[in-house]
């Protein structure tokens, strides 16, 4: 299984052109424990939760619809990927579906409400990295199946091609949320 995931991610990386300004995809998850995540291409072990990272907040931004986005981890791994994870809290009185976070590309439409439209920007190298996806166009990210209920907080993750080792910080952006500068750490 691990070999298959690495093979799919490697192919996805090659398809993405190594982080150019093309497509990106992410898949957020639902806050309800009964949500079906059968379309999630990445294994749960590859998705650090806020509890696994000690809950330390690398960045926090607040956006329209009373959303609070926290980034709690941004780890570079030996395979050449960066996994960014955190939480999103819906502070509104309505369910939130992440419609403006899923990305505008035709290929990403089947990801539904997700974080597929996120990107990392390396200002020094002047490169933008988009969320990886598998050969079926599914993002390597969290999908918010069923949305996020009012007042609920849910974990999310997104995987990107890794910037060069010399890049120590990037800017994370998704939808209409303000950009957030985050440091990159090496996997342990």
DSSP 3-state of 108: helix
94: pLDDT strictly greater than 70: yes
Given pLDDT bands bounded at 50, 70 and 90, which one contains residue 68?
very high
Instruction: Choose among 41, 122, 126: nearest CA to 76.
Output: 122
pLDDT, residue 29, reads: 38
Instruction: Choose among 136, 76, 85: nearest CA to 108.
Output: 136
173 vs 2 pLDDT, higher one: 173
35: pLDDT strictly greater than 60: no
Least confident segment among 24-38, 44-58, 90-104, 170-184: 24-38
Which of the 8 DSSP states describes residue 14? Answer: H
pLDDT, residue 98, reads: 83
For the entire predicted model, the pTM comes to 0.70
């Amino acid at each position: 299984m691990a070999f298959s995931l690495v093979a799919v991610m490697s192919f996805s990386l090659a398809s993405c052109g190594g982080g150019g300004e093309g497509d990106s995809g992410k898949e957020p998850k639902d806050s309800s424990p009964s949500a079906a995540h059968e379309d999630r291409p990445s294994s749960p072990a590859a998705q650090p939760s806020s509890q696994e990272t000690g809950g330390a907040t690398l960045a926090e931004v607040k956006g329209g619809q009373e959303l609070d986005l926290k980034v709690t981890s941004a780890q570079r791994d030996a395979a050449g990927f960066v996994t960014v994870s955190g939480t999103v809290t819906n502070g509104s009185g309505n369910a939130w579906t992440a419609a403006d976070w899923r990305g505008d590309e035709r290929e990403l439409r089947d990801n539904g409400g997700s974080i597929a439209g996120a990107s990392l920007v390396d200002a020094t190298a002047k490169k933008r990295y988009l969320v990886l996806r598998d050969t079926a166009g599914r993002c390597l990210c969290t999908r918010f199946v069923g949305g996020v209920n009012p007042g609920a907080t849910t974990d999310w993750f997104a995987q990107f091609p890794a910037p060069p080792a010399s890049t120590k910080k990037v800017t994370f952006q998704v939808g209409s949320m303000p950009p957030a500068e985050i440091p990159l750490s090496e996997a342990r």
